[in-house]
Amino acid sequence: MRPDLILIGVVGRPHGVRGLVRVHSYAEDPTALEDYEVLQDEQGRSWSLRWRGADGVAELCDAQGRPLADRTASQGLVNTRLYVPRAALPETEEEEFYHADLIGMDALEAGQVLGRVAMVHDYGGGASLELEGGLLVPFTRACVPEIDLAKRTLTIVRPSEISGEEGQGVGKAVSGAQKAEHSA
């Protein structure tokens, strides 16, 4: 998978018998998926999408503009991930980050590498970062005060409830580690 592609949606179960599918959109505005000229899947196939009803029902068309023929064809695409080039997405506002920009960043705490960001979770009550090894950190200004996109690092300040009584984290020392300036 190309690193410049960003996951924007996932094909769900078929809807009816005429090749329509449900699509779960990761865009802030789900209707934006129609605006992207090309959506790509993990096999490099190109798709376009037109919403055909409420509840995320869409018609997917292949690179030649042909819609899926029937339910069997749409069933074959269940769980297919749809991507767009990073350059096609709008620029983020201050204090906003695409999940893909955070995943893979080194998490530092007091000059120690805690690990890399493996996943960003957002279940509606506020985002959290999951580091390799399973540590979860609330993605708040208090817990993640500095983010350096250029250096691919972020600074973590864990609350005592997470880091233990002494507030001492675990990690590996980083020689010459510098604090990243928060650009937002």
**Residue 173: per-residue pLDDT:** 44
**Residue 154: per-residue pLDDT:** 95
Closest CA to 117 of 144, 93, 96, 94: 144
121: CB partners within 8 A, 6+ apart: 127, 128, 129, 130, 136
**Residue 175: per-residue pLDDT:** 43
136: CB partners within 8 A, 6+ apart: 121, 128, 129, 130, 162
Strands 81-85 and 106-109: unpaired
Output the tens digit of pLDDT for each of the chain's 184 residues: 577 888 999 999 999 999 999 999 988 888 889 999 899 999 999 999 999 987 899 999 999 999 999 999 999 999 999 999 988 888 888 888 888 889 999 999 988 999 999 999 988 888 999 999 889 999 999 999 999 999 999 999 987 766 554 444 454 444 443 332 333 3
Q: How far apart are CA 146 and CA 20, in angstroms?
A: 44
For the four alpha carbons of 120, 123, 126 and 128, in that order, the dihedral sign comes to negative
**Residue 164: per-residue pLDDT:** 55
* pTM exceeding the 0.85 threshold for the entire prediction: no
Task: For the beta carbon of residue 54, count every other beta carbon within 10 angstroms.
Answer: 6
Are 84 and 48 spatial neighbours (Cβ–Cβ below 8 Å)? no
Q: How far apart are CA 29 and CA 152, in angstroms?
A: 27
**Residue 176: per-residue pLDDT:** 41
